[in-house]
Structure 1
Amino acid sequence: MKGRGFSLLELCLGLLLASIVLSWGLASYRTHLQQQALQAATVLLKQDAAYLAEYYARYLRYKQTASTWPPLPHTRYPESGTAQYDIAFGSVARNTDNGYYVLRAVDVADRLRYVELTQTGILKYCQTTDGISVCRLQP
């Protein structure tokens, strides 16, 4: 009569297959979370842009003074807890025209990925490699 149960070889093969499937699932889950954070940071950029449009309608300029930007309502994502994206102006106010701005949400983890939004509504997703930024219009 044959023994019941699994041999050590069968158990190891089963664990190997399970670990491969779990690692694939975990990588997909991490990618999903990164995409979700990117989209949430993009939404906050758009909300900041709406705030700046109202600011411009009121003061006829985007800058608070010749050398300062107005404070943004959203400066990070998530707004509490550990930041995944920092949100700020992408240029110094002193060197920028009164009718122009660039908002930028920078990935806190590597500082090489960022999303940029201009006052014209152009949204760019950028990646810096070897000091060169490559941007695309779709995520």
Structure 2
Amino acid sequence: MARADSEKGQITVFRLDPNGPKPFWTLDAYAPAMSVSDDCLNLVTSAVGDDFLFLGKSLPSSEAFTLYRLGKRVRSIVLSDIYSDLELITQKHQGQFWANRLAWTEGRISVHTVDGRRVLFDPVTGGKVE
């Protein structure tokens, strides 16, 4: 699990042990939307509120989410990493949020796209998993 502290501008990732949660690592950044991998080594943050990415209002270079490992930034994933032809997707899905779902699946981050695909990213390298 993780806790974001807006006053400190930090995210703390916790590991659970028999006595309860223990701080495992800290990231000097703040994001209200985040998800931790099952092993607590990786964290993904994504845009929320006014920063939501809607198709037709976002550029191919717009950041969709960022991967971190043990407190260090691995890579930011942009829309062009997910959609090879953002213009075509935008024509069909104008005004929709950039993805249907973002979740951890078998140790990887899984993006369920608006065009029905599933794109996997390796949290260690930030690269696409084919």
The answer to whether TM tops 0.5 is: no
Structure whose residues are more often helix by fraction: 1
**Which of 1 and 2 has higher RCO (CA within 8 Å, sep 6+)?**
2
Indicate the structure (1 or 2) with the bigger Cα radius of gyration: 1
Output the TM-score relative to the length of structure 2.
Answer: 0.32
Output the TM-score relative to the length of structure 1.
Answer: 0.31
Structure whose residues are more often strand by fraction: 2
